[in-house]
Structure 1
Amino acid sequence: MDEVEITDVDDLPQMEKAPIKNQDLNFLSFSAGDLLSEYGWYLLAVTVLIYLLIQHLSKRRSRVPSSPPAQTPQDAVLVARRQEGMEAARRKMQEDLDTKAAIFREKQAQQEQEKRRQKIEIWESMQLGKSHKGTTKHPQTTEETSSSTAASKPKTDKKSLRSADYNPLTGQGGSCSWRPGRRGPSSGG
């Protein structure tokens, strides 16, 4: 057996003992808490601004195409057909508009000629000493005359509606013989 020598701990030379440090991460939580309590709102604002800047740049990047797509000959033919179709549709719409405008101008010219003719007739009748009111009336068609006579009410004699024995001064024969006067202050002064 080997001999083992036992020495007393107090007999060992004294070494400078370093203070024992925490081996866990508590010190980190205290320093992070101090940092957040001092600069928390500033850190939050900077974080939000950085996030918004990243979002803005990503949207801008997605809008700008990196390179124009190469057109195939088939796409060019398709685009040409669409443009020709649109041009044909525009021409057709313009022709329709032109025909409608021509019809409208013809109607306007006819109305102006009719007005001129009526004015000439009125002037000629005035020269002859006749009244112009009789000449301006247009003859009605049979449908217009039948509808106008049906719409007019026959005249009735207003005196025949009154009964002979009704007299408002006597209070007989009516639904009410006396009505109260208007409420409120009297007018006058």
Structure 2
Amino acid sequence: MDDEIEILDVDDNNTPVRAPLKNQDLSSLALTAGEILSLYGWHLLVATFMVYLLIQHLWKRRSSQRSTSPPPQQDAAAVAKRQEAMEAARRKMQEDLDAKAAIFREKQKQQEEEKRKQKIEVWENIQQGKSSKGTTRHAQSSEEASSSQSALKPKTDKKPLRSADYNPLAGQGGGTCSWRPGRKGPSSGG
């Protein structure tokens, strides 16, 4: 068998053209430095200049940051005085907080004591056969009952909030129906 294969192409003139498929060396693809400079010289020159300007800008910015932020020299006495003032303010705030907490605890104790007394009173009333609320229902007079019932009735001198024929399900027009056209645009089917 033959290792070389020939492929013939046909031109427009119907004449066969030979296209060799042998491994060609890549020397035609390799560009020399002179060719690269001649093709991309201006581009390389501009890129180099831009990198130089960027480095100069960063160097100036770095040096200006160093010169503008020297650590301020503080007087040791001023620092100590400021710290003492802060400690005094913290102590005062803590004392205020402790005082408020003590008042709150005292109120809590009083409320717990009142609840305990109410529970004892309810228990004693239950033991005596009275209502758990401490008052009996029979103690109310018929006069008090009638006054409480009259207080529950609505007063007629006030204007009613809405008319008697109001129906929230009927819509705005008091029960009238109105036709609305459908939504315009493409359907949202899926």
TM-score above 0.5, yes or no: no
Q: TM-score range by the shorter chain?
A: 0.3 to 0.5
- Computing the radius of gyration from Cα coordinates, the structure with the larger value is 1
TM-score by length of 2: 0.44
